[in-house]
Each structure stands twice: as structure tokens, then as C-alpha cells.
A and B are shown apart, each in its own frame.
Chain A
Amino acid sequence: MAKAQKVPKPQKHLYEGAEWSFEKLDRVYDAIEEIANTELGLNVYPNQIEVITSEQMLDAYSGIGMPLMYNHWSFGKSFVQDEFYYRKGMRGLAYEIVINSSPCISYIMEENTMTMQALVVAHAAFGHNHFFKNNHLFKQWTDAEAILDYMHFAREYINKCEERHGVEAVEELLDAAHALRENAVDHYSRPVPMSREMAQQRIDDREEHKRTDYRDIWRTLPHKEADVEDEEVKSKRQEANMAKFGLPEANLLYFFEKHSPVLEDWQREILRIVRNIAQYFYPQKQTKVMNEGCACFCHYYIMNRLFDKGLITEGAMLEFIDYHSRVVAQPDFDDQRWSGINPYALGFAMMQDIYRICHEPTDEDKLWFPDIAGSNNGIEVLKDAWANYRDESFILQFLSPKLIRDFRLFQIHDNASLPHLKVDAIHDSRGYKKVRSALAKSYTVSAMTLDIQVADVEFEGDRAITLRHMVHDDVPIDGKEAEQVMRRIAQLWGYDVSLYCEDALSGKILATYDVTAS
């Protein structure tokens, strides 16, 4: 009975040690959910968290993170590579994959420690999940309720096509469609139809280009009967085409799906599938920094609160801080590990910074951010930002001088025609705004995707299609790749394809590429 005096300490911690179990997961999930609901006020899709093995994680990787992806060799390519690096211990696996769907599916790995699982739940099941549900881009472009069904349909459909038309035929089509994945979204509102003068100018320029590009040897080739089209007739036809096909059209896949003269119905459907999936990923590309920032802010806040409340041990907290600081590390540009700006680092730092500006502003902050400095409602400000911005506008709006100093950001102007790079701005009062807008610009859609449109189609003649690349800041298209892509376009279109690169400012034709349909 002497033992009875030793009252065991009340079990306060949600878990101890590294091993995880489903009961522990349940307890931790409930604790996290409470903080997320009452303190952060997150608004999330219902969660579905699935435990998988590392093998399954590798599998999930290869289908660009989708649980149900159709089959294609390119996914196999990324699979064998991921597998190789993983097996050789050269690369770790992601701790989690989260799908923008309702219910929001998060995959967590069985190899993770319990602390890791808690971190992942806070990060993915609440941080990312909230962002998916509330950000305007996701609301506009994706349908979380329907995506899993759609992926299921896509997989089945493509399977059926393979059975009916052969694996090779489908593969060829998917190759072509994948090459245009990035040109499959309506990025821009339609530009105003070109004026007559500009059209004339363009024709002149093309003549001019032909003249400067003239090679006498071509003359020796047997010539086709030149069908000289009256310029006036041509421009009339162009105008008619523009109206008929909605030209210029930046959504290339959409255009081929609707107007290709050679595709069969199943092929159009597959193009549509690729296009829809590309569109589904479109918001993710534009919100990488914010999305990760939001998730990191949430997991950091939640884990700290769990510790404050005495729900996790000091050991767990230390382990968490170790993971966390590795995730949000930003190597310098001259560091061996440098591989670009880490969206986790920038995103997390900005979220923390906004919170700080709201609660403990400096005089500088009050000057730069009069609306939010000292407003004492950091969480609300953050949630508003998460809902209404994308990376570009978010950085333009919220990147503070303090962060520019902390990261020691500097801007380099690279003019390929000059032997030297020039430092345009650094972290000083003259440079803050320049650095900020340059950084924001690097996250624009146009920085990721080239401005390419279907400019003209000759439906009466040889059915050739003309693409136009608008060149900004003299940065040209990669010609070799472009020709490969155009060969795939020729498959989709069935007739000749040409591409001309037009300087956006002067309207000059800088280069042309032609691919003949085989």
C-alpha cells in the first residue's frame, strides 16, 4: 500500500517519444484543430489524412502528386529518377503531399516521427487546406469537390482509349499535349484586334525579315507556283478568321481541341483532359510563396501553441524547431546549396513579418504600411492576404524594407549584350522599391510562361497555322525547344506550323521558325 502514495503525474502531454500511433494522431489532430479553429479561425475543407509507406510516396510523386493519374511514360521517367536518388540516399522524400480537393487529402508517411506527423497535420491539413479553400485564384480556377471524380474519369477514359486505339497512338497525342501544358490556360483577357496600320506594319516587317534573312541558295530550289495573295484580301481573311476563331488565342490546347482539322473526337477529349488538369494546377504555380508561407505560418503558430499549452514535450519542440529551420532555410546566392529563392523561406518570413508589423511596428513600418501597422489584428490581416493575393501582388504589397535587409536582397540587371552584370539595387532606402518590384515581377505569369498565341490560320489555302510570340525585354524563345514543340503542334494540327517572334514594343519581327507537317 506504500506504493499508493506515489501518485502518478497526470499525463499532460499528448504523446511522448518518437513512435506514432493512430490514437496519438487522433489526440494531436483534435488539439491542433482546436487551435486552428479558435485562435486562427481557419476555414478548411473536411480533412482526410492517409498514412502511406515510402514506396507509395514514391508512387504518388510520379503522378505529379495526384492520387489518380493517367499513365504516361514521362511519369515513369520521373519515377525511376526519384527512386534512384531516394534509394541511393541522395535525396529525401517529401514529408507530405496534400491534394487540393474536398475532402482535402493529405498523405503522411509511416516513417515520420510523431512530431513530424503533428507538424505535417498542422502544415498540410490546416495551412494548405485553408489556403486552397479561401484563395481567390483557387476559387476561380479549381473545383475541389469535383477534381477527384474528374481524375478518375480521365484515367478511365485514357485507359479506354489505349485499349481502343493503341498505347502508342495515345502516347503520341499525350506527348504533344504535354508540350503545350503551359499554354493551356487563358492567362490574359483578349487583346484588342489589331488595327490596319499595325497589320500592315507587321506584313512589312515580315517582308523585311525575309529580305535580311535572304539566302541566295534557296533560289536554286524548285519553286512552288507562288500564289500571290492580294494583301487586301489577306487582311480581310485575317479579320474574318479572327472573328471566327476568336484569334488571337493564347490557350493553344483549347484552340487545337476546338479547331484542329485532323483530330478525332477521342483525341479532342484527351486534349481537354490535359488542359483541365493544367488549369487545375495553374493557381498553384502562381501562389507557391504564399501557399507555403501560409502553411509554414500555421504549423509554426500551432506547434508553438501546443508547446505553450504544455501539450508536447520539450524534446518534441526541439525536434520540431530542427525540422522547421531546415525547411525555411534560405542559402545565399553564392552558397553551394543555392537553387533559387526558397518559397518556404520567403513565404514564412513574410507571414511572420506581417504579423510583426501588425503587433509591434517600427516607425519605418508605420511609414510603409500605414494601413496595417499597429492594427493588432495580424491573423485577420494575414487571412485577408491569403484570400485576395497571388505571389506577385502579395510581394509587391507586403515585402517590407526589414525583410529586404534580413535577406540582403539585391537586384542584378543582366543585359546579355553587355559583358558585365550590373547591380541595380541593394537593400538601402534607394533600392527597397526597386528590389521589391523586381522580385514581384519574377513571380508573374509572364515570367513563367511565354506569351504565345495563335495569330492566324489559313483555312482556305494550305491550312497552315501561324503562332506569334510576343518578345518582352529582348528575351527570345529557346529555338531548339520551340521547334520540337512545333513538331508536336504539327501532329495536332496536321498541317504546317510557323512561329514568328515579334518585339512587343517596336513590333519588329525578330525571328521565324517553320515546321512542315509530315
Chain B
Amino acid sequence: MMHFIDRRLNPKGKSLPNRQRFIRRAQNQIRKAVKEAVNGGKVTDIGHNGRITIPSKGLNEPRFKYDYTKGKHDRVLPGNKEFSTGDQIKRPPKGGEGQGGKKASEDGEGEDSFQFSLSREEFLDVFFEDLELPDLVKTSLKEEVEFEKQRAGYVRVGSPSNMDLKRTMRHSLARRISMKRPGNEELNNLREEILDLEARGRKTKKLKELHEKLEQLEHRRRFVPYIDPLDVRYKSYTKIPKPNTRAVMFCLMDVSGSMSESMKDLAKRFFMLLHLFLTTQYERVELVFIRHTHMAKEVDEETFFYSRETGGTIVSSALEEMQKVLEDRYPLGDWNVYAAQASDGDNFASDREKCLAIMGDVILPACQYFAYIEVMDEQELEIFKDEQNMTDLWRIYAQLTAGFEQFAMRRVVKPNDIFPVFQDLFSKENAGDS
């Protein structure tokens, strides 16, 4: 007799160990590819589109094989149209038609690449690597907030659909054994014996005894039920709470000529990290990009990172723009406001008072958190090492740190400098969680 076996409920992901081994093996290539993906991708993309391409070098599995570009060999092909015996055909160009694609990919050298997708978790692991995040933060960032039921042992009350049959029957069996509940077989035997005796028509003492015994057993059976409410166990689940709030994140950046590409790159990672954090905390996160030179404008992400502008630097213009957007679209009661600003610290001296006023009176009171990073290269860091030396913007903002605990600022030279600016934010959230 033939059986169809339903394996659909078997655990999937059987190849996970192989996958992990592969990723470990290709670590260096993946690291590079992720870096490129981060630099080329959007702030919101992080961890969502894990498609990456890595060179297959180092992932080759060598074996002894022929070099068919040399020597003599015969090939038989289908679909002859115009050839007759003895014809000479020009050799098709290498990698051209015929066995084209296959040859090229088997070849160890050449521009051979290997494309696949990383899971969100795998991608973030690599992304976090040079940011040097503390482990606790890493896990809280990686968490996908979903409504996931989690098993949490067994309980005595629950809905019938959650009943755990195995566990229930085990309890029932244990109880029946310990309470000596008479089984079907025992009863049936007894009944048969009685019927047998009755059929012979004798009313002996034995029959009476048997009747009594039967009654006793039946009583006991009623007394000790097959399944008692005591036996029943339900699977218990806990639910992970769902975030039900929304947040808007403002990205402010100085795009004047003094900001180099590498500075923008750093800024981008800074924005990504904050966005990632917000997406784990809030159901909906909207992004507003505001770039500024001597005047500010709200733009889309593409323009934000990649278009170049010339002009002076007036930071207050961006702050004003932010204030305008806030008032127009994001009423304070409904939205949590986060802002991240990146700049090289340049600002017109005349702008000082205005910045201070808008920040202190409007922006900072409205924000849950405002992080400012001053991106610079190594040389500049040397110059500004001295406490007395500081950029214009830093000087202004430094006055605000005391009054507003949601305000954080930091100088950033390398990717791993980024995280400390968020330190308060993360530690606060984590403290709140636990």
C-alpha cells in the first residue's frame, strides 16, 4: 500500500547551516558589497533590499577539467539549416553564440560575479560591523516588530483550538492509572461473563457477586472520568506588543561646496542608523530631507545626497524650513519628531543669533531627539582638538546642550564615531524597555 506523506509542516530552512557557512566563507566580498549597497542605496532601504552581487573569486570549486579552447574535438549539434558535409565555418567569437553563457560562468577568471539576496538580519550584521554598536543596541535594531505569537509553556485555561492533545492525554492517562479506572476490556469481560451465566439460567451467588462487582466498577468509572478538566492543558502564547505611533524624521544637511563626498557618506550612515532605530520603535516613519546652502529647500532623497550646490552657509534657513514643514504637515500632538543634522560646522557669523533663537524656542522643544554631527577629516580634527577652537555652528549649539537633554552633538571622522551621538537615545529606550 502506497502512502503519500505530507511534509509541508516539516521545518523549513534546513539549509540554514549551509547558508551560514557560505556567508562566513564569502565574508570579505559580502562586506565590500554591503558597503557599496549602503553608499548607493536609500536611507529607507537599509535591510529591506538585501540583493547584492559579489565576485565569485574565492568561491570557486576547482576540479580537473578540460580546456576546450585547445585541441581537437567533435561536437554534435541539432538544428542544421544550411550546412553540408565539408563546409568550413568561421569560428564563432568567444563567449558569443553557441555555448555562450555557460562557458563564461565556468571560467574561473573574467568578470565573473555571483548575485544573491541577504536576509535583513544578515545584511544588518554586516552594516553594523564598522559602526561598532553595542550588542544590546544591535539586537534591538534588528528586531522586526511584528505581531508574532510566541510559545510560552502550558496553561490550564485557554481556547479549545489551543488545546495540547498530547499533553492533555498524558495527564489523563497518568490520572487514570493512578486512580485505577477500570478499562473497557475489564468491563466487557465482566459483562460477557454475566451474560454467559445468565444464559445458562442459573442464579448463583457468583452471578450476584459479579453484578455487584460490575456495578462497583461502573461507579468507579463514573467517578474517575476519562478526561477530567484537571487534565486539560492549553498551549500558551505571548504576543509582542505592536508599536502604534508614528514619527517623522528630519534630515538636515549642509550641501555647500565645503562638504566633500566622504563627509556626505558619513552623514548618510548617520541618517540610516537613526532611521533604522525609528523603524523599530514606530509603526510609521516619514522622512523629510532638507538641504541648505545659504537658502534651504525640501528635496527628495536622490537630490539630497547626490546633487551639488554652491553658495554660502546659513544654517537658520534649514531650521526655518523645518519649522515650516512641521507646522504645515506634522502637528505636534500626532507626531513624534526626530531630527538629524549633518554639517561641516560652517555658518555665517551673522546667522548666530537667529539659529540660537529658532533652535532654542521652536525646534528643540518640539523634538523628541535632535542629533547633530559635525563631519570632518582627520586634519580638521587636529585643529579642533583644542576646546577653544571650534566651528561657528558648534559654538552656537554648545550653548544649547545644557538646557535640552534631547539634544546630542558629536564630531565624526570615521563610521565608528557615529554611534556615540545616539548613545543617550539608545540607552534611554533600552532603559524604558526593561
Contacts and interface: CB of A to CB of B under 8 A. Distances in A.
A81 interface: yes
Contact of B14 (A56, A182, A475): A56
B104 to A, nearest CB: 13
A74 B77 contact: no
B22 A80 contact: yes
A504 to B, nearest CB: 12
A410 B88 contact: no
A469 B63 CA distance: 13
Given A72-B18, A426-B85, A53 B12 contact: yes
Contacts of B72: 413-416, 473-475
Given A51-B8, A423-B83, A71 B64 contact: no
Contacts of B23: 76
A478 B5 contact: no
A22 B2 CA distance: 12
A372 interface: no
A73 B78 contact: no
A48 B2 CA distance: 7
Nearest to A29: B2
A450 B66 contact: yes
A424 B87 CA distance: 8
Given A421-B89, A485-B62, A333 B78 contact: yes
Nearest to B60: A484
A175 B78 CA distance: 37
Contacts of A58: 15
Interface in A368-426: 407-416, 419-426
B70 A481 contact: no
Interface in B78-114: 78-81, 83-91, 97-99, 101-102, 108-109, 114
A340 B99 contact: yes
B35 interface: no
Interface residues of A, number: 99
Given A414-B73, A450-B65, A72 B21 contact: yes
Contacts of A476: 66-67, 70-71
B200 interface: no
B85 A59 contact: no
A507 interface: no
A419 B91 contact: yes
Interface in A151-168: 167
Given A58-B15, A421-B89, A71 B21 contact: yes
A182 B76 contact: no
B54 to A, nearest CB: 10
B387 interface: no
Contacts of B21: 71-73, 76, 167, 171
Interface in A49-95: 49-53, 55-56, 58-59, 62-63, 71-77, 79-81, 83-84, 87
Contacts of A75: 15, 18, 22
Contacts of B15: 58-59, 62-63, 75-76, 79
Contact of B69 (A29, A331, A416): A416
Contacts of A55: 12-13
A482 B17 CA distance: 29
Nearest to B77: A333
B204 interface: no
A51 B116 CA distance: 27
B22 A73 contact: yes
B90 A420 contact: yes
Nearest to B53: A84
A9 B78 CA distance: 49
A415 B74 CA distance: 9
A192 to B, nearest CB: 24
Interface stretch (A220-228, A299-307, A428-436, A457-465): A428-436
B238 interface: no
Contact of B77 (A53, A73, A409): A409
Residue among A422, A477, A478 with max Cβ neighbours from chain B (10 Å): A478
Interface string A112-129: 000000000000000000
Given A73-B18, A74-B61, A426-B83, A473 B89 contact: no
A31 interface: no
B4 interface: yes
Given A62-B15, A481-B63, A341 B71 contact: no
B115 interface: yes
A47 B1 CA distance: 9
Interface stretch (A198-206, A356-364, A438-446): A438-446
Nearest to B66: A475
Interface in B31-72: 51, 59-72
Contacts of B70: 416, 474-476
Contacts of A485: 62-64
Contacts of B427: none
A477 B62 CA distance: 12
A514 interface: no
Contacts of A53: 8, 12
Which 3 residue pairs across A and B have the least CB separation, nearest first? A332-B79, A76-B22, A475-B71
16 contacts: A22-B4, A51-B6, A80-B19, A84-B117, A333-B77, A333-B78, A334-B97, A338-B98, A409-B78, A413-B73, A416-B71, A422-B88, A423-B85, A473-B71, A475-B71, A476-B67
Given A414-B73, A435-B76, A475-B70, 20 more contacts: A29-B2, A51-B8, A56-B7, A71-B18, A71-B21, A79-B22, A334-B79, A410-B80, A411-B77, A416-B72, A419-B91, A423-B86, A423-B87, A474-B72, A475-B72, A476-B71, A478-B65, A481-B63, A485-B62, A485-B63
